[in-house]
Amino acid sequence: NSGTLPSALFCCLYRFFTLGLDVRQLRRLIDSTESPYIRCCGFLYIRYGLPPDQLWSWLGEYVLDDEEFNTSPEAESRTNIGHYVEALLSQDKYFNTVLPRLPMVTKRQLEERLSAIGQFRLRTKANKQILDEFRQSGVRVEACVSLDEWLAGRVLELDEDVPTRIKVITRLDDGTEESVHLGKVILCKRSRSHGRRSRSRSRSPKDWSRHKGRSTKELVDELRSRDREKAVCSGKDYARKPVGYKAACALPRDQGAASYRLMEEETFVPVRRTRSRRSPSPETESFGKRPSLEHQARMQQLFEKYGAA
């Protein structure tokens, strides 16, 4: 994030591009268990090197990954893989480095898919507290298999091979089997008597393990409204300092050099070259005052004809 020197991560990324990775090698990078930074290098490789229409098929399942790491030596910059991948898909810059521009059609599709990620994360946190219920085979659930499409079924088993991306294998009522992330599964509604008790406590927070949340259309409209507000610099974002302002101010500069150059540009007046006229010498000046030969000849004729007056 220095803005002048490439980081070790980008040096490794450049080396991967010179080598050229195949599908198997790239999959090993993003699924590495040795270090989250190895995975981040693979995600950047995908974001920079793959066509825009293939980004979601590669990165879609990792936006709910819970593995935590530090993006910089600062202790406050702790995040997880899910937020990291989401930023690569939704932002135009990676810190101060510009990411490849996405077509508007692809950007709209990614907005729809990413709009409900916040709800899925809340549901993942709630479902982890009752994980034993999902370990029981035959439990009635509803799974989100696509945008706003919830299908009923029963739990077959809980896939915990990757602890940061727990999945629930369900058999839907139509007979098909689906492996769905834990944050995209809700338990079916409880008995009616329990429902009466829950309605009496209407002010209690939502039970995300049984709540589907808002529709995709509502979330997308809210997301685009926030983007429009940022674009016109209104509200809290008015007169906001640009990204990287503090980092640019921290770069070493010669004291007064910029202001001196600016003053030179404002006060610079180009010098026009003009031909300097030489001052006449006494000889040329006296020669210029003499009458011409033609004038002298006429005066001689008049003198001979009329004589002196």
Task: For residue 231, tell me if it sits in a domain.
Answer: yes
Instruction: Name the residue with tokens 């599709």.
Output: 109
Q: What is the mean pLDDT of the chain?
A: 81
Q: What is the mean pLDDT of residues 198-223?
A: 75
Q: What is the pLDDT of residues 248-280, one digit of tens each?
A: 677 676 666 656 666 666 565 555 666 655 665
Closest to 120 (Cα-Cα) out of 211, 222, 203:
211
Q: Which amino acid is at 143?
A: A
Closest to 84 (Cα-Cα) out of 47, 50, 109:
47
pLDDT, residue 193, reads 42
pTM over 0.75: no
A 10 A CB-CB count for 125 gives 14
Task: For residue 301, tell me if it sits in a domain.
Answer: no
* 70 lies in the same domain as 153: no
Task: For residue 64, tell me if it sits in a domain.
Answer: yes
Last residue of a domain, one of 66, 82, 115: 115
pLDDT, residue 235, reads 52
pLDDT, residue 180, reads 92
Q: How many domains does the chain have?
A: 3
pLDDT, residue 190, reads 60
* 110 lies in the same domain as 133: no
Q: What is the pLDDT of residues 168-187, one digit of tens each?
A: 999 999 989 999 999 999 99
Structural domain that includes position 96: 8-115
Question: Are 64 and 124 in contact, with CB atoms under 8 Å apart?
Answer: yes
* 91 lies in the same domain as 147: no
> What does the chain come to in residues?
309
Q: What is the pLDDT of residues 224-239, one digit of tens each?
A: 888 777 766 555 555 6
Q: What is the pLDDT of residues 51-107, one digit of tens each?
A: 999 999 999 999 999 999 988 766 577 899 999 999 999 999 888 888 999 999 999
A 10 A CB-CB count for 261 gives 10
Kindly state the percentage of the chain with pLDDT values over 90: 46
Task: For residue 57, tell me if it sits in a domain.
Answer: yes
pLDDT, residue 225, reads 84
Task: For residue 304, tell me if it sits in a domain.
Answer: no
Residue 229 burial (10 A CB sphere; 0-12, 13-18, 19+): middle
Question: Are 296 and 304 in contact, with CB atoms under 8 Å apart?
Answer: no
Question: Are 46 and 55 in contact, with CB atoms under 8 Å apart?
Answer: yes
* 143 lies in the same domain as 84: no
* 80 lies in the same domain as 143: no
Q: What is the pLDDT of residues 24-41, one digit of tens each?
A: 999 999 999 999 999 999
Task: For residue 100, tell me if it sits in a domain.
Answer: yes
CB burial string 290-300: b at 16+ within 10 A, e below:
eeeeeeeeeee
* 102 lies in the same domain as 154: no
CATH number at residue 191: 2.30.30
Q: What is the mean pLDDT of residues 105-122?
A: 92
pLDDT, residue 253, reads 64
Measure Cα distances from 44 to 37, 55, 58, 74 in Å.
11, 11, 12, 21
Kindly state the percentage of the chain with pLDDT values over 70: 72
* 149 lies in the same domain as 72: no
* 109 lies in the same domain as 17: yes
Those residues whose C-beta lies under 8 Å from the C-beta of residue 10, and which sit 6 or more positions away, are: 44, 97
* 185 lies in the same domain as 221: no
* 111 lies in the same domain as 53: yes
Pairing of strands 177-181, 167-172: antiparallel
A 10 A CB-CB count for 116 gives 23
Measure Cα distances from 253 to 169, 250, 264 in Å.
59, 9, 18
309 has pLDDT over 90 = no
Those residues whose C-beta lies under 8 Å from the C-beta of residue 239, and which sit 6 or more positions away, are: 233
Q: What is the mean pLDDT of residues 121-129?
A: 93
- Pairwise CA distance, residues 190 & 199, whole Å: 12
Pairing of strands 149-159, 140-146: antiparallel
The radius of gyration computed from the CA coordinates of the chain, to the nearest angstrom, equals: 39
Q: Which amino acid is at 11?
A: C
Task: For residue 16, tell me if it sits in a domain.
Answer: yes
For residue 168, the surrounding DSSP H or E stretch is strand 167-172
Task: For residue 29, tell me if it sits in a domain.
Answer: yes
Confidence of residue 197 (pLDDT cuts 50, 70, 90): very low
A 10 A CB-CB count for 38 gives 16
* 42 lies in the same domain as 84: yes
Measure Cα distances from 296 to 96, 278, 285, 302, 304 in Å.
88, 29, 19, 10, 12
A 10 A CB-CB count for 133 gives 14
Range in 132-136, 148-152, 169-173, 189-193 with the lowest mean pLDDT: 189-193
pLDDT, residue 72, reads 74
